[in-house]
Amino acid sequence: MIIGVPKEIKTDEFRVAITPAGVRELVQAGNRLIVESGTGEGSGFHDADYRDAGAVITPDAAEVFAKAEMIVKVKEPIAPEYDLLRNGQTLFTYLHLAADKVLTEVLMQKEVAAFSYETLSVEERLPLLEPMSEVAGKIASLMGSVHLGRYHGGLGLLAGGAVGTERARVMILGGGVAGKAAAEVAAGLGAEVTILDINIERLHYLKDVLPPHVTTMYSTLETISQILPQCDIVVGTVLIPGAKAPKLITREMLGIMKPGSVLVDVSIDQGGCFESSRPTTHSEPTFIEEGIVHYCVANMPGAYPRTSTFALSNATLPYVKLLAKEGSKEVWEHYPVFKSALNTYEGKLYNAAVGAAHGIEVSILS
């Protein structure tokens, strides 16, 4: 198969979908790789590295999209890339379609076979989302601590405090991969941490593996409302696979928070779990609303692209190989795992959560 790797053009996105080592493996498996010039520079990979691995380097994205049977990316296509997509082309990337009706309609109109990293499920795990969830969770606590600084609009409290002073109080909503990572980092910084989830079994696990000074609690609106006024940092990591994130903190609830406290919305790619959230970028990562600092960067792992690229490519490469081997046409018959990753195919939508978010009829695989 001819596989295209275009340069990511989303603001402040420096990750790349495939490393030179991944290119080498795909070429050895009989595939042809076309890589846009400069696509790996932000992650520390040069054109020569890709060329030495067997890829053809092309100067512009248009040629990559025009020649490739399958496009492998990190982030979802954005407006300048819509016209580059071809009918019948395969796309494998993070899509987050529940938060983007326009892209959903474009993929259907173009009859793109669109498979998403974030919905691919293996025994209730999301193996292609987990690496970036871990990175984003760690970043969330770091950035929450940084933006608690006064010069960022925060209340000026050091997360771990100092001798004779109070520590920051951190509430983490969601105990999945991102929430666990956020709790580990916040606790490591010396903050007082409470992590909430609605899965009792998961809470038992978190209690066993997290530091003793991390408190686990069952998540209810009442519990959140009781804890919120004492919090200095709130990290939202809740996830409903493929669907919009639930709004766990309403705009009205900002009024009971400390002025200068920080909200970090890891769920912003899925619409955000705070009602007042809106996507931001690494260049302009925060805004202040009702006196509360909001950090809502839509591609948090992009801040550390080399780590993120290795972590992502390690997870996705086996699935890229399978998709290239079988092609998008009925790949799920030989590898049923791809049923969960399929979002659009031959003009139809196959993801129920996306259909519910946009009021679009959903088809069922036979």
Q: What is the pLDDT of residue 270?
A: 84
The more confidently predicted of residues 293 and 12 is 293
- Per-residue H/E/C for 219-277: CCHHHHHHHHHHCCEEEECCCCCCCCCCCCECCHHHHHCCCCCEEEEHHHHHCCCECCC
Is residue 113 helix, strand or coil? strand
pLDDT (0 to 100) of residue 99: 86
pLDDT-derived band at 245 (thresholds 50, 70, 90) equals: confident
User: Is it the case that residue 148 has pLDDT exceeding 80?
Assistant: yes
Quick check: 60 pLDDT over 80?
A: yes
Mean predicted confidence (pLDDT) in 234-258: 90
The amino acid present at 325, given as its one-letter code, is K
Residue 361 binned pLDDT confidence (cut-offs 50, 70, 90): very high
Does 157 have pLDDT greater than 80? Answer: yes
List, in sequence order, the alpha helices (H) in the chain.
20-28, 47-52, 61-67, 79-82, 101-109, 130-146, 177-188, 200-209, 221-227, 305-326, 331-334, 337-341, 352-358
How far does CA 358 lie from the centroid of its chain?
A: 20
Q: Tell me which residue of 348, 194, 221 sits closest to 275, measured CA to CA.
A: 221
Considering the entire predicted model, what is its pTM?
0.90
Tens digit of pLDDT for each residue in 180-224? 999 999 999 999 999 999 999 999 999 999 999 899 999 999 999
What is the set of active-site residues? Answer: 96, 269
Q: Residue 167: pLDDT band by 50, 70, 90 thresholds?
A: very high
Please tell me the predicted confidence (pLDDT) of residue 269. 85
Contacts of 108 (CB under 8 A, 6+ apart): 344, 347, 348, 349, 360
Q: Does the pLDDT value for residue 358 go beyond 90?
A: yes
Residue 124: predicted pLDDT? 84
- For the chain, what is the mean pLDDT? 95
The CA-atom distances, in angstroms, between 59 and each of 47, 64, 85, 348 are: 10, 9, 17, 33
Place 306 in a pLDDT band, splitting at 50, 70 and 90.
very high
Catalogue all structural domains in the chain, each as residue range(s) with its CATH number.
2-116+305-358 (3.40.50.720), 130-297 (3.40.50.720)
Instruction: Supply 249's token pair.
Output: 């903190």
Q: How confident is the model at residue 241 (pLDDT cuts 50, 70, 90)?
A: confident
Q: What is the pLDDT of residue 329?
A: 84
Coil/strand/helix, residue 151: helix
Q: What is the per-residue pLDDT across 253-298, written as a single tens digit (0 to 9) for each?
A: 999 999 999 999 999 988 899 999 999 999 999 999 999 999 999 8
CB atoms within 10 A of CB 361: 7
- Beta strands across the sheet bearing 286-289: 214-218, 192-197, 169-173, 233-236, 262-265, 292-295, 286-289
Based on C-alpha coordinates, what's the Rg of the chain? 21
- pLDDT of res. 122: 94
